[in-house]
């Protein structure tokens, strides 16, 4: 079964990493390098175990667009969205034996080095990927 591990962040998180938030310390170059090294090693372990399918990071929410139907007409809104605290920042798709195993893989992300003021806000979701309408259980 395939599972998507989704990592979340806010526009503010992207701004802090880039040193653009005045009221929160910016990530140092070492902080960013440590996070990237951890993620690279984490992905490499998944490749070596045969569980890796795909992984991508996403651009900051300021570069997103949301399309909603209003009265049957598509309305486009540029991001970031003030009503949304966190958005999908990146994802990894794994193929493994069980939901529990996918959860174990995702839980290893808690060891990712980040500045102390960031650690308590980290959120990761794990969801099964459906291959057909029959998998939806409706």
pLDDT at position 84, please?
65
What digits encode the pLDDT tens for the residues 42-56? 999 999 999 999 999
**What are the boundaries of each domain within the chain?**
2-131
Which pLDDT band holds residue 7 (cuts at 50, 70, 90)?
Answer: very high
CATH number of 2-131: 3.30.70.1060
pLDDT digits (tens, 9 = 90+) for 84-125: 678 899 999 999 999 999 999 999 998 999 887 777 777 899
CA dihedral angle for residue 33, residue 48, residue 105, residue 114, rounded to 10 degrees: -10
Is the dihedral angle over the CA atoms 108, 109, 115, 116 positive or is it negative?
Answer: negative
The secondary structure of the chain as a DSSP string is -EEEEEEEE-HHHHHHHTT--TTSPPPPHHHHHHHHHHHHHHHHHHHHHT-EEEEEE---GGG-EEEEEETTEEEEEESP-TT-S-EEEEEEEEE-S-HHHHHHHHHGGGGS---HHHHTT--EEEEEPPSSGGGG--
Residue 25, strand partner residues:
none
pLDDT at 138 over 70: no
CB 87, CB 9: distance < 8 Å: yes
For 13-36, the pLDDT digits (tens) are 888 888 887 788 888 889 989 999
Q: Is the pLDDT of residue 73 over 70?
A: yes
Higher pLDDT, 131 or 137: 131
């Amino acid at each position: 079964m395939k599972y998507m591990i989704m990592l979340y962040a806010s526009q503010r998180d992207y701004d802090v990493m880039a040193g653009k938030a005045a009221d929160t310390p910016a990530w140092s170059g070492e902080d960013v390098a440590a996070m990237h090294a951890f993620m690279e090693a984490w992905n490499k372990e998944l490749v070596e175990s045969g569980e890796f399918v795909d992984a991508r990071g996403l651009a900051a929410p300021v570069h997103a667009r949301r399309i909603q139907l209003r009265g049957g007409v598509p309305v486009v809104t540029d991001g970031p969205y003030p009503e949304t605290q966190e958005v999908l920042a990146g994802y990894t798709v794994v193929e493994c034996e069980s939901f529990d195993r996918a959860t174990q893989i995702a839980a290893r992300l808690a060891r990712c080095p980040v500045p102390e003021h960031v650690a308590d806000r980290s959120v990761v979701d794990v969801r099964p990927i459906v291959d057909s309408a029959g998998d939806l259980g409706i």
